Amino acid sequence: MRRTARARSEAVPDRAEARARMVETHLVARGLRDAAVLEAMGAVPREAFLPADLAAAAYGDGPLPIGAGQTISQPYIVALMIEALALRPGDRVLEVGAGCGYAAAVLARMGAQVFAVKRHAALCEAAGARLAALGFGSVHLRVGDGQAGWPEAAPFDAILVSAAGPDVPRALKDQLRDGGHLVIPVGPPGGQTLLRLTRRGPDRFERTDLGPVSFVPLLRGVGPVEAG
């Protein structure tokens, strides 16, 4: 499946030069070094995950709106969070706050088994169709309460949370395997910190501060069906 995803992602109308510049200017120049992350970021067409009128802005290093009050994170933050997961091919990854599906596509490109949860039904449906069209049909995607995770698919080797809460949900900690990494923004608007938690036993988690960030809030429950 990884080979199919690679071939189809490269068949999308090509902005390879813009992606290469983005990798060098916004990722490598800022200290990111994981070769698998850089390759995936340079291959997945970010413009395909945006409204058509924003495609020209796809490779600037900033967040962009995707509808329903949600955003696609800036490329540097996506790459930073995924690099912090320290993934290996075949790892099982839970993504909470799947948005438009871009980070899930990057993870799948790296060979991860991706389980992505999104609370907004319309955005989730659109992300699923987009991922399938690009050849990432192996991504498991569902509408659900991200704070509850995906217990029947646990344990996960890594968990990526693309929305901020006041603390780390207990359910997500419980679904992380021993030695696995959980990356999540924590804190109030205007004062969030990106954290990496590494599980070191049943109730022990090692914390690493990855710097200040700004994310939409992590909400409970399942949202209504929105246009977009």
Q: Which of 51-65, 73-87, 113-127 has the highest mean pLDDT?
A: 73-87
- Overall average pLDDT of the 2-14 stretch: 46
Burial class (CB in 10 A: 0-12, 13-18, 19+), 198: middle
Q: Looking at residue 24, what DSSP letter applies?
A: I
73 is annotated as an active-site residue: yes
Predicted confidence (pLDDT) at residue 5 exceeds the cutoff of 70: no
Contact (CB, 8 A) for 92 and 153: yes
Higher per-residue pLDDT: 158 or 13:
158
167 pLDDT above the threshold of 80: yes
Q: How far is CA 81 from CA 13, 17, 40, 70, 120, in A?
A: 27, 24, 13, 18, 22
**H-only helix segments in the chain:** 2-11, 16-22, 35-43, 75-84, 102-109, 121-133, 170-174
The structure tokens 């939409």 sit at 216
Please answer whether residues 97 and 184 qualify as being in contact, where contact means their C-beta atoms are separated by less than 8 angstroms: no
pLDDT band at residue 221, thresholds of 50, 70 and 90? low
212 pLDDT more than 70: yes
Q: Which of 73, 138, 162, 214 is catalytic?
A: 73
For residues 146-162, give the mean pLDDT.
96
- Please enumerate in sequence order all residues whose Cβ is within 8 A of that of 121, keeping only pairs 6 or more positions apart, or say none: 143, 222, 223, 224, 225, 226
Which residue is listed with tokens 């955005």?
123
Asked if 158 and 181 touch (Cβ cutoff 8 Å), the reply is yes
Q: What value does the mean pLDDT take over residues 23-29? A: 97
Among candidates 95, 99, 15, which has minimal Cα distance to 60? Answer: 15
Res 41 pLDDT > 70: yes
- Per-residue pLDDT tens digits for 90-141: 999 999 988 889 999 999 999 999 999 988 888 888 899 999 999 998 899 9
Q: What is the pTM of this model?
A: 0.89
Helices 102-109/35-43 angle, 10° precision:
130
Which residue, chain included where needed, has tokens 């490329």?
A: 75
pLDDT at 32 over 90: yes
Listed range (77-81, 98-102, 224-228) with the worst mean pLDDT: 224-228
